[in-house]
Amino acid sequence: MKIRTGFDIAFDSSQPTPMILMLSVHPSRMPDVLTPHVIRLDPPVPAHEYRDRFDNICHRILAPPGRIAMSASFVVQDSGEPDEYAPGARQIPVQDLPDDVLVFLLGSRYCDTDKLAQTAWNLFGSTPEGWARVQAIVDYTHNRIRFDYMRADATRSAHDGHTQQEGVCRDFAHLAVTLCRCMNIPARYCTGYLGDIGVPAVPDPMDFSAWFEVFLEGPEGPRWYTFDARHNRPRIGRIVMARGRDATDVAITTNFGFQSLARFDVHTDEVF
């Protein structure tokens, strides 16, 4: 399967504004990119590329006063297979986890484990460990939060989402990640492209989306598995852009000064 995807985003600035852009496909998917993967900046300001602590590709720019636009369009090869299903994957004891995985057990800006630990153990302490426990958390989160674009809140934490029972895809991911961490299951937040491929058309289609991954012992050894509390079903055509502890680590743009969003268009479509 081939997927054409990309974006066209613009901001207005009243003064020179430093920015971090996390708009590239994640290095793990770069081998699947079939056409040039170029982020175009208008006006064409210098961009410095670097990798962050989670191996995400980042670009630093200084946006000039006025409007700056950033765009890209490229084709990605995809297996066309849905998210892997491994019901026999087991939970790994904390003492046996790799060192670099431990950070995904800790609380973070939006994943306030200290506020949800008791709730998590009350809800899931008697569930079977491993895949079944993660799926129970996903089921609970999917039913707990009501999806509503108009109720997006950039300051909403997992505990807030659990209390308010509304939000967008990032709130589903934050709550599920937090509940997993509370149960000693390493979980990391993901953002990327997810078009409505292989599913019926919906009035609120997704292109940029958030999901999460958990670290379990599968048939072929320890690895990360994909889960999606927003949709709660295996999906086709995920293209990961960034991974981290929560949305703080994977914001597609971060600005160090006031800017207003002038345009935000994303496309993800299967190429026939």
Do 264 and 229 fall into the same domain?
Answer: no
Crossing angle of helices 169-182 and 131-144, rounded to 10°: 140
251 exposure class (CB count in 10 Å sphere: 0-12, 13-18, 19+) = middle
Residue 88 located in a structural domain: no
Whether residue 151 is found in the same domain as residue 228: yes
Check whether residue 239 and residue 266 sit in a common domain: no
- Asked if the model's pLDDT at residue 204 lies above 90, the reply is no
- In terms of domains, do 112 and 203 share one? yes
* Gap between the Cα atoms of 83 and 190, Å rounded: 14
Is the confidence at residue 17, as pLDDT, over 70?
yes
Tell me: the pLDDT tens digits for 75-114? 999 999 999 999 999 999 999 999 999 999 999 999 999 9
Q: Is residue 87 part of a domain?
A: no
Q: Which pLDDT band holds residue 222 (cuts at 50, 70, 90)?
A: very high
Say yes or no: 146 and 196 in one domain: yes
pLDDT at 207 over 90: no
Number of Cβ within 10 Å of residue 221's Cβ equals: 6
Domain shared by 172 and 218, yes or no: yes
Q: Domain check: are 170 and 153 in the same one?
A: yes
| In a shared domain, residues 204 and 189 | yes
pLDDT confidence band for 213 (50 / 70 / 90): very high
Average pLDDT, the chain: 96
Give the Cα separation of 142 and 246 in Å (integer).
Answer: 18
Look up residue 258 and give its two tokens.
């006031």
Domain count across the chain: 2
Q: H helices within the chain, ranges in order?
A: 113-124, 131-144, 158-164, 169-182
Give the pLDDT band (50/70/90) at residue 261: very high
Q: Is residue 86 part of a domain?
A: no
From CA 165, how far away is CA 16, in angstroms rounded?
Answer: 39
Per-residue pLDDT reduced to its tens digit, 139-170: 999 999 999 988 889 999 999 999 999 999 99
pLDDT greater than 80 at residue 264: yes
* Same-domain check for residues 236 and 257: no
| Opening angle at CA 93, ends 144 and 95, nearest 5 | 125
Indicate the pLDDT class of residue 200, thresholds 50, 70 and 90. confident
Domain that holds residue 17: 2-79+251-271
User: Do residues 237 and 255 share a domain?
Assistant: no
**Is residue 8 situated within a structural domain?**
yes
> Residue 65 and residue 257: Cα distance in Å, rounded?
11
Q: How confident is the model at residue 272 (pLDDT cuts 50, 70, 90)?
A: confident
- Tens digit of pLDDT for each residue in 31-57? 999 999 999 999 999 999 999 999 999
CA 230, CA 168: separation in Å to the nearest integer? 8
Q: Are residues 218 and 105 in the same domain?
A: yes
For residue 179, being part of any structural domain is answered with: yes
CB burial of residue 247 (10 Å; 0-12, 13-18, 19+)? buried
Q: Is residue 240 situated within a structural domain?
A: yes
Q: Does any domain span residue 85?
A: no
pLDDT band, very low/low/confident/very high, at 198 (cuts 50, 70, 90):
confident
User: The domain spanning residue 17 has which CATH number?
Assistant: 2.60.40.2250
Position 205 pLDDT exceeds 70? no
**Statement to judge: residues 11 and 60 lie in one domain:** yes
Instruction: Please give the model's pTM, rounded to 2 decimal places.
Output: 0.95
Residue 149 lies in a domain: yes
